[in-house]
Amino acid sequence: MANLLHIGSSSFTSSTKLLRRNPNFSSIPAPIRRTRVQAKIREIFMPALSSTMTEGKIVSWIKSEGDKLSKGESVVVVESDKADMDVETFYDGYLAAIMVDEGGIAAVGSAIAILAETEDEIDEARSKASSSSPSSSPASEKPIETSVDNAIPPPPPPSPKPSAPAVVTAASSIHPASEGGKRVVASPYAKKLANELKVDLTTVVGTGPLGRIVAKDVEAVAASAALTPAIGISKPATASAPSVSVELGSVVPFTTMQGAVSRNMVESLRVPTFRVGYTITTDALDSLYKKIKTKGVTMSALLAKATALALVKHPVVNSSCRDGSSFTYNSNINIAVAVAIDGGLITPVLQDADKVDIYTLSRKWKELVEKARAKQLQPHEYTTGTFTLSNLGMFGVDRFDAILPPGTGAIMAVGASQPSLVGTKDGRIGLKSQMQVNVTADHRVIYGADLASFLQTLAKIIEDPKDLTL
């Protein structure tokens, strides 16, 4: 559900004074003072879209200066630390002035635009915006944000009115909504539609405000692809992708997501951690996966389910310490799984993974991944994890260590399953598939024996996975 803009009023409505009746006089009609309702000029503030959000980036303005707004209408797309969200207004009025341009960054609670209640107040609102603009931080951020897009020529300053058409015209020839291929700016519905229709958004030219991709753009590309042979359109689009490259020697500021990851990683260094590794035979798990893969089951869901069932027997490994003086035995087992997305990393959460059947869990996982890559996850879908999995096995990585996310007790790094020569109990040498897992844990709460016992339980579940399909 889209979020509502925080809007503050800058004017006040007059009210009638209370008149007292003098008891020494007879009833004399009291004079009636008419209430004059004044038009209001309101500041639109940067909303807090999650509990960890301290600042937001303006991805795109859906509306332009002077446009009439209706209550509940989407006005701006804001990038928080993990997702892009459409933000609505809960007032009728006119978008008088935009104070933070696209690409600009503003602190939560700072003004990003001015809303006038009537068309007559627009000029006054713009004067207020002009007087307050020097103190706004996004102005100083704008040149830094421009340097990110070094693969394409920087657009001219958006403040002068006559230059606006030129910006749109120039952008339309270089796929404005992709910002040189580094970022796709599209409405949430357009992103969802693109996933369903298998349309690559980097090949779509947006016709929405300032080149934003909207649903009809995706539908048009999908329709043309259906009528054109595969060799006709898709090949050139694929061939053009490698043209996007980095400029060696350039300094690129963090994106909002990268900034959030950076803060979390630095915070994690304050926690005393230790690591324990374990080798698990995966032949039985691989065999089960082959049998139920056709039913939509994913390996990520199987690993999450196995981990959750092991955590049921070892609740201390699912615990967390936040204040340094106590810890919490979490009542739910929510498995967060790290996913690499464009421009960063996010950990969608499979909630109550121990209680959900593997088929439902797999469907939920696919849904979360799609939402994560479209940057449409809601905060509760990536901030409620109690134990984290990071799997690089699909890249052929055999072992690695993971950094503990703040607020959790442990994270498990999963390597690739590889054939290995193993000595059997009867003294023979056999070939088995094995994988390495390494757990990083908060040593204030979890000790070596706790992890060793947990990993033994996990190995038993994976090596005899009958319980995973119950």
61 close to 168: Cβ distance less than 8 angstroms:
no
In this predicted structure, what is the pLDDT of residue 161?
40
CATH topology of domain 272-463: Chloramphenicol Acetyltransferase (3.30.559)
Catalytic residues: 443
* Tens digit of each residue's pLDDT (9 = 90 or more) over 135-164: 444 333 333 332 333 333 444 444 444 333
Task: Give me the chain's average pLDDT, please.
Answer: 76
> Measuring CA to CA, how many Å separate 420 from each of 255, 277, 397, 433?
42, 17, 15, 6
| pLDDT score at 232 | 37
Q: What is the mean pLDDT of residues 33-38?
A: 44
Phi, psi (deg, nearest 5) at residue 36: -100, 115
pTM higher than 0.85: no
Among the residue ranges 208-222, 336-350, 397-411, the one predicted with the least confidence is 208-222
Give the contacts of 437 (CB within 8 A, at least 6 positions apart): 277, 278, 280, 412, 413, 414, 415, 455, 458
What residues does each domain of the chain span? 41-130, 188-218, 272-463
In terms of pLDDT, which residue wins out, 215 or 108?
108
Does domain 41-130 fall under CATH 3.90.76.10? My reply is: no
Q: What is the pLDDT of residues 229-272, one digit of tens each?
A: 433 333 333 333 344 577 899 898 887 778 888 888 888 889 99
Express each pLDDT in 181-204 by its tens digit: 445 677 766 776 787 777 888 788
For 119-133, the pLDDT digits (tens) are: 777 887 787 777 665
Residue 210's pLDDT band (cuts 50, 70, 90):
low
